[in-house]
């Protein structure tokens, strides 16, 4: 099993009507990464659950089904106060955001 990080670019097609708000949406997810990392350190699982819940509800609407999926797992991990799983979700979200290439169509 490899521990190598997958750095291949990930092309996601997004509705062109959303072009004006997608950059802000993704910037907010980067802020979430910082926020949830801080929450993890402080053991604030309920606050992390709310952020995961919101990500789950909004991601696919913007065209990012993976964000919804990660958000759902974050919500569940926070509900179970699973620090390791929550940290894994944060890492996955960070990697996902780093690999994103958006095509508006």
Partner 1 sequence: MAMPPVDHILIVDDDPDIIDLVRRFFEKNGLKVSAATDGKGLWAVLHHGTVDLIVLDLMLPDEDGLVLCRTLRASSSVPIIILSSRGEEVDRIIGLEMGADDYLPKPFHPRELLARVRSVLRRTRPHPSSDLPGKGEEDVVYHFAGWTLDAPTRQLYSPQSEKVFLSGSEFALLRIFLDCPNQVLSREQLLDYSYNKEGETYDRTIDMQVSRLRKRLREDPKTPELIKTVRGLGYVLSARVEKSGAHP
Instruction: Single out the residue of 3, 9, 20, 42 in contact with partner 1 (rule: CB under 8 A).
Output: 20
Long-range contact pairs involving 24-31 (C-beta distance under 8 Å, separation at least 24): 25/58, 25/62, 26/97, 26/100, 29/55, 29/67, 29/93, 29/97, 30/97
Nearer to partner 1, 33 or 60 (CB): 60
Residue 85's nearest CA partner among 96, 75, 77, 93 is: 77
Nearer to partner 1, 33 or 87 (CB): 33
Site for partner 1, residues 42 to 101, rule: CB under 8 A? 53-54, 56-62, 65, 68
Minimum CB separation from partner 1 for residue 89, in Å? 17
Nearer to partner 1, 29 or 39 (CB): 29
Binding site for partner 1 (CB under 8 A): 15, 17-18, 20-21, 24-25, 28, 53-54, 56-62, 65, 68
């Amino acid at each position: 099993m490899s521990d190598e990080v997958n750095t291949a670019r990930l092309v996601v097609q997004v509705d062109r009507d959303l072009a004006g708000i997608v950059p802000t949406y993704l910037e907010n997810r980067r802020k979430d990464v910082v926020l949830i990392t801080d929450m993890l350190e402080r053991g604030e699982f309920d606050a992390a659950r709310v952020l995961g819940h919101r990500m789950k509800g909004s991601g696919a609407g913007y065209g990012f089904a993976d964000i919804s999926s990660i958000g759902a797992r974050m919500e569940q991990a926070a509900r179970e106060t699973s620090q390791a799983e929550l940290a894994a979700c944060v890492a996955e979200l960070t990697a996902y955001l780093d690999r994103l290439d958006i095509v508006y169509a």
